[in-house]
Structure 1
Amino acid sequence: MVQVQSKLIPIVVTCSEFAHPWTSSCLEAIAGCYLCALVESFRLYTTVYLLALLMKRKIPTKQDLKRTIGGILQSTAFLSGTGFGYSFFLCTLRRLLGNYNILTISAMPAFLASVFAILIERPSRRLLLCLYVSNVATETVWNMAVSRKMVHPVKHGSVTIFSICMAILLMYYKKGLHKNKDGTDDSMFSVLRFVVGPYEEKNYVARSTCSDTFYREHTNDPDSSGGGSWRTTTPNTTYHIVTRALRLYRKLIQKIKCLDRHIACPHPFSCIYYITQGAGTMFGVGLSIQLILNTVLNFKRLFTSPKAAVNTILFRKKNLSLALFLGGFSGIFRGICCLLRRSTGTDSPYHAIPAALLAGISFKKYPDTTVALYVMWKMAQITYNLGIDRGVLPQVPGFTMFLYCLSTAILFHAALLEPANLRLSYWKFLHTISAGRITCMNRVPLDKWGLETTKQLRAVLKGTNTDPIVKYYGGFGCS
């Protein structure tokens, strides 16, 4: 049985006994960690930046290529600098203090490494990095609290977080508070505009009335209905059946568009069409995304086992999860907003609160903790910026970088002491960037603090299929 000692009592071990048992040289360990992080970071960011370049769907200019190459090199320097700094401060603090304590075992070296590394990265990317690591760190802290019986898991907790935060964000959206100082939209509001539609924006009424009136007059005019273009002398063939079906579908859509629309509603055409069109469009988008992801993830199986791969890609119940969530959210939000406009006779930004809270129930079909926490942090960031703009909240210099460093320290602390509480995807990321070094650090001395660290490590290694083997580049490390 492992003897448990107070976490305030330091652990007296050397660097080679804990931090780098694969080599007795601190210098070799630091150089090896940096070189491996450099290679893996370059691979990662080359893929990321090239995909971003391809997604622009245009031939890149010389300036685009120059900017892409510069971004790859700068981001690579940032991430590899974190690996170098972590290894450097891990050994340096031990030499200065003569031992390891609960802070210097991982958290403090990670924090100090992040302070220097984040200064290398482009300022435009610092906020994105902060939001990501804060997202993962929040989940990690919650898992740590649950493992200590300090809190209990909340049923549908992610749905609750998502619904409340979306209600606040959509209220901002309807109030017209989604513009930055330079007149551009925050990326979150661009997503909201795509999901719930642009008509829920503030002061959209004037832009929709004319198109609605024109369409109703044009549709109800028998001379301009376009019905003659569908006439055909073709006999009753498959083509004739298809054209008749399309004509009936077109007439049905026209009838639905011309149904009742309340004067307070900012959208063109009828409320029924507005609701069904939004739900149907987003259902199709969600289904398409899921099928594309399944195809990419099972790309190799399409060649080795085509039949099994097709069944995995197409005939899966999970394929409908994202589609039902997106379609349900858009349809319910639009429907509740229209209902409230009819009930009150006016359009109010505060209609977004009950509409989003009810629409958020659809998140039960796709209860992703990562998505819920990302929305929460985006809401907090946007609210903080609005508070600064109105003079309600003080602007704290360097707060974004401090939050990034603190979150990174929490994640590295959990990776060393409590890996079972860390998100598995982040563990795999650390394993890749460190070339296996994160798994090979000797955690046996840490068991004295009573966290069952080695037991947690074995469970995580098994669950993620990661091997405790140090890879090496250029002779640094061992096979």
Structure 2
Amino acid sequence: MTNIQSKLVPVTVPCTQYAHPWTDSCWNSTAGLLLQASQHSLRIYTAVYLLSLITRGRIPTPRDIKRTILGILQSSAFLTTNAFSFIMFTCLLRHVLGTFHFITVSYVPAFLASLCAIFVERPARRILLTLYVANVATETAWSMAASRGIVKSIPHGQAIIFGTSASILLYLYRRGLHHQYQDSLFNIFRFVVGGDEEGRRPTGADESAESPAEALGVEGIEGAVGAEDRVGRRQRRNHYSDISFLVRIYVQLLDKIKSQSKHKSCPHNYSCLYYSVSGGSRLFMVGFGLQVTLKIVLQLKKLLQRKLSLKKVIFNRETLKLGVFLGGFSFLFRSISCSLRHITGFDHPLYAIPAGLAASCAFTKYPDVTVALYVMWKMLQISYNIGVDKGYLPKVPGFQTLLYCASTALLFHVGIFEPLNLRPSYWKFLHGISGGRVAIMDRSAFDVWGLDSSKAVLETLKLTKTQAGKVKFAFS
């Protein structure tokens, strides 16, 4: 690699050679990218908004349909603006400056394009977009540093990031700050660790309200068995007697577990053992069910063609990972929180930190970088808002917008100069939105900066199984 100071030397090359070698007209290239990006954006956001409409679980009203259509058009306009204005600003800067500098090749035009585009999108979606691109940009920046030997991968680094961030958020959750700083992530934590950990006993919860036998309908089963006796159906009587016996055993075992010790400071109703085991088993089944459902949907064609057996889809080690993570996290957090209450004799929100760190060991069974970084950025966002409200941190006007623009610009910059350090899915996104034009752009003139960009593009195309696009539009 050449000396880093060589990047201060400008490269004199026309934009027709680098930015749009398929046409000599800057405006034609911008118009062509606008047409391509608008089609691709409509496909993406139509699927996103329709899926969101379906998952509401109710018949959409005319108002819902209207809002969905307007949302599709507005979000598509946002993404289209980000795409075509990138090439427009690239050419504009080249004409103004006369040469290409290291930051004007892609970073500055991408920053300006993002700045124009983000104001087209709905304000409610801007924070989601910012968190997403900041997530990918963080991973990309780490890959860049690792490729230069500046940093090295840490074993279970994802679990460390996830555990630290989740522990802080759980501490805020236990302090009750989630009511003031409402966020969907707090709802997920409530689902995983339980509403009892908010520190308040749920109203109307009473151990004597309903016995487990009544809840499971044992008396009804026994009554049905007695009725069968009176009718004289001996075979069915024996059948229901067996079921009733098994249910009675289960209920008695459940009652015994529920009646175990529970510290007075514990916010849950039954024993700590039941509280921990029931939460862990429930989350395990949820995670397992989600994975099975997802695999069935993705492999539906092969299942219908009998190229893949349902047994292999369900009974698979990969299918268990999400369930083990969710169930293990819930079980460990609850059991350690209860243990700390037993040891100290009182409850405190700070117990969420050691409990959260220990529970995050379960994340090693489902080490997803995207999830870890998302939780980290959520923690930073919420902590920053709390710091601003309490006067500990200054409020930076437009910080969210600047973060989005800086993160997106970094991704575009790496996509041009170092695509091997870019997440493959994001390269495919850039490839699709540009109709393959991002691969056609001639980077050979910039190889003097020592990043071997033209060679890296060829390797990226091979690794991602993508190819350079063939521009078909007259406005290309």
Q: Does 1:275 find its partner at 2:276?
A: yes
Q: Which amino acid aligns with 1:386?
A: I
Q: What's 1:319 paired with?
A: 319
2:263 corresponds to? 262
Shift, 1:387, TM fit: 1.0
2:83 aligned partner, one-letter code: G
- How far apart are residue 259 of structure 1 and its match? 2.4
Paired residue type of 1:229:
G
CA, structure 1 residues 476+206, in 2 after alignment: closer, same or farther (shift >3 Å)?
Answer: closer
Residue 99 (structure 1) shift? 1.6
Aligned-residue CA RMSD (Å): 2.2
Alignment-mate amino acid for residue 188 of structure 2: V
* 2:298 aligned partner: 297
Taking the TM superposition and a 5 Å limit, the aligned residue runs for 1:38-437 are 38-180=38-180, 185-202=182-199, 204-205=200-201, 207=203, 210-215=205-210, 228-229=222-223, 231-232=225-226, 233=229, 234-235=234-235, 240-304=241-305, 306-308=306-308, 310=310, 313-437=313-437
Give the Cα–Cα distance (whole angstroms) in 1 for the partners of residues 144 and 357 of structure 2: 29
**SS of residue paired to 1:7:** helix
* Alpha-carbon separation, structure 2, partners of 1:18 and 1:312: 50
CA deviation string 1:187-234 (max 9, x = no partner): 1101100111100013x13636x5124346x869xxx97684364544
Preserved CA contact (<8 Å) 1:324 1:362: yes
Cα distance per residue 1:150-202 (max 9 Å; x no partner): 11111111110110111100000000011236xxx311101100111100013
**What's the CA shift string for 1:5-64, capped at 9, x where partnerless?**
811111211112111112222111100111111111011111101111111111111211
Does the Cα contact within 8 Å between 1:3 and 1:448 map onto a contact in 2?
A: no
1:350 to 1:27, Cα distance in 2 relative to 1, 3 A: same
Task: Report if aligned partners of 1:291, 1:319 keep a CA contact under 8 Å in 2.
Answer: yes
Give the direction of change, closer, same or farther, for the CA distance of 1:206–1:30 in structure 2 (3 Å limit).
closer
Distance 1:389 1:104 in 2: 38
How far residue 267 of structure 1 moved from its aligned partner, in angstroms, is 0.9
Which deviates the most, 411-420 or 291-300? 291-300
Question: Shift in Å at residue 67 of structure 1?
Answer: 1.1
2:14 equivalent to 1:20? no
CA distance in 2, matches of 1:446, 1:5: 14
Report sequence identity in percent.
Answer: 47
Contact 1:140–1:422 (CA<8 Å) still a contact in 2?
yes
Unaligned runs of 5+ in 1: none
What's the TM-score, normalizing by structure 2?
Answer: 0.93
- Output the amino acid matched with 1:61: T
Cα deviation digits, residues 374-404 of structure 1 (max 9, x gap): 0000000000111112122121111000000
Q: TM-score, normalised by structure 1?
A: 0.92
Between the aligned partners of 2:213 and 2:310, the Cα distance in structure 1 is 43
Q: Is the 8 A contact 1:32 1:472 kept in 2?
A: no
Post-superposition offset of 1:343: 1.1
Tell me, which stretches of 5 or more residues in structure 2 are unaligned?
A: none
Following TM superposition, by how much is the alpha carbon of 1:454 offset from its aligned partner in structure 2, in angstroms? 2.4
User: What's the offset of the Cα at 1:314?
Assistant: 2.2
Cα shift at 1:326: 0.5
Instruction: Please give the alpha-carbon distance, in whole angstroms, between the structure 1 residues aligned to 2:390 and 2:223.
Output: 58
Q: 1: distance between equivalents of 2:106 and 2:243?
A: 67
Equivalent AA in structure 2 for residue 431 of structure 1: H
Count of residues in correspondence between the two structures: 466
Q: Aligned-pair distance for 1:472?
A: 4.0
